[in-house]
Chains A and B, each alone.
Chain A
Amino acid sequence: MPQSDLARRSPPDPKLFGLRLSRWNRTMLALGLLAIVAAPHLMEDFSVFQLTKAAIYAIAILGLNLLTGFNGQFSLGHGAFYAVGAYTSAILMTSFGMHYALTIPVAALVAFVIGFGFGFPALRLEGLYLALATFALAVAAPQLLKFSALEDFTGGVQGIVVPRPQAPAWTGLSDDAWLYYFTVAWMLALFVLAANLVNARPGRAMKAIRDNPIAASAMGINTPLYKTLTFGVSAAYTGVAGAISAFVVGFVAPDSFTFFLSVALLVGVVVGGIGSVTGAIFGGLFVLYVPNFAEEFAGVFSKGLSWAAYGTILIAIVYLMPSGLAGLVRWLVMRAAQPRQTGD
């Protein structure tokens, strides 16, 4: 540890049921990792596949959260960046015979460039207007993918069938379990990078712009640069998610990337917790499982009401946990820790 000549104070670390909060965090992290590693051994292949999809959504949601939650720029069009990633990966694998793992950095780069480029017109648009512009992106994406001039690459309306990667023999894993570990490794790495980012200089600049752009600029932050870069990084995250989904699902088609996907990602951000990195995992699980749950739940009365049930669940969540699931956890912890805080 570097020596410091002044008395810095460390952040408050209240006790919770006799254990320091930082210890709790570490314990939960260890248990979480253990659960992630153990999961495929306790489930059927289809459930593992579902969980893989949740992890993919979590990556995409984290990407959108970097933009919306941490930088205050709305996007109703992240499904388009997801599609960019998915198609980049699918085309590279099928037309150019590239290894699936190598398509991911390329997809990230392509999505970054497009996102960064879109960040420039976005600079002139605030709030609702930016939401509308990105909405246009989302509704245009499926049609562009069907566009006949690009059919040789995109497969037009038919889409592209992508060969599903097989587990390397040395792992002894099923293909689904292998893809699960592959995806989760990417997810964890991207989460660590994002957590590092938002807690350091660039992340503070992003949040400062969100909270007060004029003051951010007065503090010497190059707001246009940070906003466009954040747009690019956000698109890259979502592009990686799309790329992984291409070969995990084994199929890309224009109608997999409708406006509904963009909205689902935004729902994931809000439900998980706006401006929370770990919240994106809750968001991913929610986006994947809750529509199914709603269907089963509504099925008791009438199959046709599943989206009404979903809507009810959403309203309940937004009403009961305004800062998302991550916010709820934080709130419960703070409440439990409150009486002890003063006794430090």
Chain B
Amino acid sequence: MSINFGGIVALDGVTIDIAPGEIFGLIGPNGSGKTTLFNCLSRLYTPNSGRIEFKGQDVLALAPHQVTTLGLSRTFQNLALFSSMNVVDNVLVGCHVRSRSDYVSAALRLPWARREEDELIDVAWRWISELGLEKVAYEAVSDLPFGTQKQVEMTRALASGPDLLLLDEPAGGIAHDEISGLERLIRRIRDEHGITILLVEHNVGLVMRVSDRVAVLDFGKKIADAGPEEVQRDPEVIRAYLGTE
């Protein structure tokens, strides 16, 4: 997959292959193309060339909103919550793709639409308690601390029932002592819910601890793709990225 913005090559022939049930870490220095690749996967950007396949389907043939329907959900590096709404409503928006009540059935409160709404609220609360957000459930998200807002984003993404969860810098901006909790959470999402995870993260330590496989990007090119131990020993990775030590 390749993409360029006005002559600047952001991604240059990068191929990654994520196996179901895997936690796949993607790291690289600033500007190496991590987030760009991520935005291509969620159809925010369209690559100039290349292919994205998910569950045997051509993702690039889909409109951005259809990607989520297919079972691919994401969080954003710089929060993108629905700021005027409370936590429950944000998570309920996450449930959008698993429900189908429309203007007419909702306005008339038809029995099936009410039943569906009830089920959605169940799903939303299951994820809210899974991530321990019960206490702030009815607070407006804009009143919550940054770290909590990041958790709300993750909850919202999980509520859509994804098979592949794309996490864009989940550790960014959260306190140091919260990292181990995040690590356990990421594992639990995969282990207990069977959700495949693509983790884009600056915190190399976190990525190396939770990932089954790690790919390293540098200047838009993939320079390594292997298990975490192997990647950490890779001379090119050490030179490009970890070489500061």
Contact = CB atoms under 8 A, between A and B. Distances in A.
Interface of A: 2, 4-9, 11-12, 193-194, 196-197, 200-205, 207-208, 210-212, 214-223, 229, 233, 275
Contacts of B48: none
A220 B81 contact: no
B96 A221 contact: yes
Contacts of B93: 204-205, 208, 216, 219, 221
B84 interface: yes
B149 to A, nearest CB: 12
Contacts of B82: 207-208, 211-212, 215-216
17 contacts: A6-B125, A8-B125, A200-B113, A200-B117, A202-B101, A202-B103, A207-B82, A207-B84, A210-B84, A211-B85, A212-B81, A214-B44, A220-B67, A220-B68, A220-B160, A222-B65, A233-B103
A233 B109 CA distance: 17
B134 A9 contact: yes
A160 to B, nearest CB: 32
A217 B84 CA distance: 17
A221 B65 contact: yes
A211 B160 contact: no
Nearest to A212: B80
- Those 5 A-B pairs whose CB atoms lie nearest each other, nearest first: A220-B68, A220-B97, A200-B106, A215-B80, A211-B82
Contacts of A12: 138
Contacts of A275: 84
A217 B76 CA distance: 13
Contacts of B64: 217-218
A198 to B, nearest CB: 9
A219 B68 contact: yes
For the residues of B in contact with A, the DSSP-based class is: helix
Interface string B99-124: 10111001111000101111011100
Nearest to B69: A220
Interface of B: 42, 44, 63-69, 73-74, 76, 80-85, 89, 92-94, 96-97, 99, 101-103, 106-109, 113, 115-118, 120-122, 125-126, 129, 134, 137-138, 156, 160
Given A217-B64, A222-B65, 13 more contacts: A196-B109, A201-B99, A201-B102, A201-B117, A207-B82, A208-B93, A215-B80, A215-B81, A217-B65, A218-B65, A218-B74, A220-B66, A233-B103
Contacts of B81: 211-212, 215
B97 A194 contact: no
A229 B103 contact: yes
Given A7-B129, A208-B82, A211-B82, A201 B122 contact: no
B80 A218 contact: yes
B99 A4 contact: no
B84 A211 contact: yes
Nearest to A12: B138
Given A218-B80, A219-B156, A2 B125 contact: no
A73 to B, nearest CB: 16
Contacts of A202: 101-103, 106
Contacts of A201: 92, 96, 99, 101-102, 106, 113, 116-117, 120
A218 B108 contact: no
Contacts of B76: 215, 218
A25 B105 CA distance: 25
Contacts of A208: 82, 85, 93, 96
Contacts of A4: 118, 122
A191 to B, nearest CB: 11
B64 to A, nearest CB: 5
B205 to A, nearest CB: 28
Nearest to B156: A219
B129 A197 contact: no
